[in-house]
Structure 1
Amino acid sequence: MTHRIRVRHNFETAHRLPHLGGKCHSLHGHSWWAEVVVEAEELSADQTIVEFGPFKKELRAFIDAHLDHGAMLGADDPLAPLLAAHGSKVYLFGQAPYVRDLPHPTVEAVAVLLARASEAILDGRERAAGARVGRVRVTETHVNAAEYVPGDGRRDPSLRRAAS
């Protein structure tokens, strides 16, 4: 039997995808929703997968500090230094922790980012044996969403806690 918990959080963030062309070439924003599912085959001795409060607080703090009311851009995007020079919050895909291998802030890449950040947060928490991120769903509009389901349950060594 698999046990699951879900944590949801919303954030307002701009991004642009010049590599795709079309209307997403322009800087634009979304009211994003993230849902992170943590799962384990067995509960811990205190009958939890991970304690909601601390996990939720740290995940929301990551999102709020790095993404909310900012811009997600590729590290090579010419808008990145301009926005940063004017005091805007910019999270650089292709450079920032958890996304060095993901050059563009597509909704799919944002789902991977949040899975990796969530896994790192789990690393710092008391949790049930084998507890892991089972699924991340990121919704960027009412009709567009992406889901990321990490591999077969084996930990990717590249997902060790990165400086945020």
Structure 2
Amino acid sequence: MKHQICVRHNFETAHRLPHLAGKCMNLHGHSWWAEVTVQAPCLDGDRTVVEFGAFKRELRAFIDDHLDHGAMLGIDDPLAALLTAHGSKVYVFGEHAYARDQPYPTVEAVAVMLSRAAQALLAGLPHADGAAVARVKVTETHVNAAEFLPSAGGSAAALPLAAGTTVDA
């Protein structure tokens, strides 16, 4: 038997995908939704997977601090340096730890990045044994979404960082 919880949060963020042909080459924004599901094989002593309030607070703070009302751009995008120089909030894919191996902020890459951030946040909270991020769904429009299902070991296993490394997310 497995237990799951799901936290949803929305954010307003621009991105652009200059490596793709078409209109997504232009800087544009979306009203994004993230749904993060955490799963555990059994409940902890408090009879929870992870306490909703703490996990929700940490996940929403990460999204609001790093993504909301900002831009997500690729490491080779010349707009990243320009916007940063002018004081804009920019999350650079290919640079920040949770997206170091994701060169562009596609909806698929955003799902991977958020699963890694959520797994790191979960690790810092009391949780049931074996609790891990099981699914992240990111919706960028009413009709476009991507899902990422981390491996059985959880998304932190996919994070290319040495143990004890401080993450500059």
TM range (shorter): over 0.9
TM value normalised by structure 2 = 0.93
Fraction of identical pairs, as percent: 67
What 5-or-longer segments of structure 1 have no aligned partner? none
CA contact (8 A) 1:55 1:121 kept: yes
SS in 2 for 1:158: coil
Match of 2:26 in 1: 26
CA contact (8 A) 1:120 1:162 kept: no
Structure 2 CA distance, aligned partners of 1:110 and 1:140? 10
Match of 1:144 in 2: 144
Change (3 A) 1:12 1:121: same
Match of 1:61 in 2: 61
Structure 2 CA distance, aligned partners of 1:43 and 1:152? 18
1:115-154 to 2 correspondences below 5 Å: 115-153=115-153
CA positional deviation for 1:153: 2.8
Deviations 1:80-116 (A, max 9, x none): 1111111110000000120110000000000001000
TM value normalised by structure 1 = 0.96
The amino acid of 1:114's aligned partner reads L
The amino acid of 1:88's aligned partner reads S
Structure 2 CA distance, aligned partners of 1:18 and 1:81? 15
CA contact (8 A) 2:96 2:168 kept: no
**2:160 is aligned with 1:158:** yes
CA contact (8 A) 2:138 2:145 kept: yes
SS in 2 for 1:153: coil
SS in 1 for 2:58: helix
Structure 1 CA distance, aligned partners of 2:121 and 2:13? 22
CA contact (8 A) 1:138 1:147 kept: yes
Structure 2 CA distance, aligned partners of 1:133 and 1:153? 9
SS in 1 for 2:160: helix
Deviations 1:14-64 (A, max 9, x none): 000010121000000000000000000100011000001111101000000
